[in-house]
Amino acid sequence: MFTTLTGFLHASPDDLLETLQPTLLGAICEFDQIPDERKALLAEVSNSLRARKRCETAKLTFICTHNSRRSHITHLWAQTAATYFGIPDLETYSGGTEATACNIRTIDAIRRAGFSVVNPTPGEPNPRYLIQYSKKHAPLTAFSKVYDAEGNPGKGFIAIMTCSHADKNCPIVRGAEKRFPIPYLDPKASDGSQYEAHTYDARSRQIAREMLYLMSIAK
C-alpha cells in the first residue's frame, strides 16, 4: 500500500507497480535534498504546465545528445510522477540530437528502481524496450531516436534539455513552444568501473525526486 504523506495527493495503490513504491516514496522524502537553484528551474517548468489551457494536453520532450541514458530516465520518471500525482492530459517523450541506442546500463538501472522491462526486439542494434510503470496504463517504449522523430510531438511541446552538451549545441529545438535546461551529470563516466551500478542508481534517484517534485508543485 502507498504511505500517506501530508500535503500530497497520491495515486491509488493499484495505479503504479508495487515494485516502484519503495523508490518513489523514498524519493519524495528527499525533496529537501534538491538545491534551491534546481527547485527554481523545476518551478519554471511547473508554471508552464499549469498555464496550459483547460483540457489541453501538455507534452514534455526530454532531450540529450544520444538519447541513450538521461533523457530516457527523465522521460520515465516524469510520466510516473504525473500519474502518481494525478495530473491528467500530460504526455512525456524523449529524443536526442542524434540517435544511437538506449544503453543497457540505463535499462538495468530502471529495472533496479522497480520498473518492469520487456525487450521484444533482442539482437537489434537499437532495441526497443517496453517499460511498464503502471497496471492501468500502457507501457512506454524506449529506444534511441532524434527528438523530432515520428511518434514524438512536432510542435507545441516543452523541451527539457537534460545534458549540457545538447543544451549548448542545440540552442533551437524545432517545434518547441518552450525550452528549459535541466542538465544532469552523465552516468557514462562510470561505465566499466566498480562504481557503475551505484552511479546509475544515484542518477536515477536524483531524477526521480526532481521529477516527482516538479509534478507535485504542478499539481
User: For 160-211, what is each residue's pLDDT tens digit?
Assistant: 999 998 888 888 899 999 999 999 999 999 999 999 999 999 999 999 999 9
Place of cell 527539457: 160
Cβ partners under 8 Å of residue 91, min gap 6: 57, 58, 59, 60, 79, 153
**In the prediction, which pLDDT does 19 show?**
96
pLDDT below 70 — which residues of the chain? 1-14, 53-55
Residue type, 49: L
Alpha-carbon gap, residue 49 to 8, rounded angstroms: 18
Alpha-carbon gap, residue 88 to 92, rounded angstroms: 12
Phi-psi region of 112 (alpha: psi -120 to 50; beta: other; left: phi over 0): alpha
**In the prediction, which pLDDT does 53 show?**
64
Cβ partners under 8 Å of residue 40, min gap 6: none
**In the prediction, which pLDDT does 52 show?**
80
Three-state DSSP at 91 gives strand
Alpha-carbon gap, residue 85 to 70, rounded angstroms: 22
Alpha-carbon gap, residue 202 to 18, rounded angstroms: 21
Q: Which residues of the chain form beta strands (DSSP E)? A: 58-64, 90-96, 116-118, 129-132, 140-142, 157-161, 176-181
**In the prediction, which pLDDT does 35 show?**
97
Residue type, 182: I
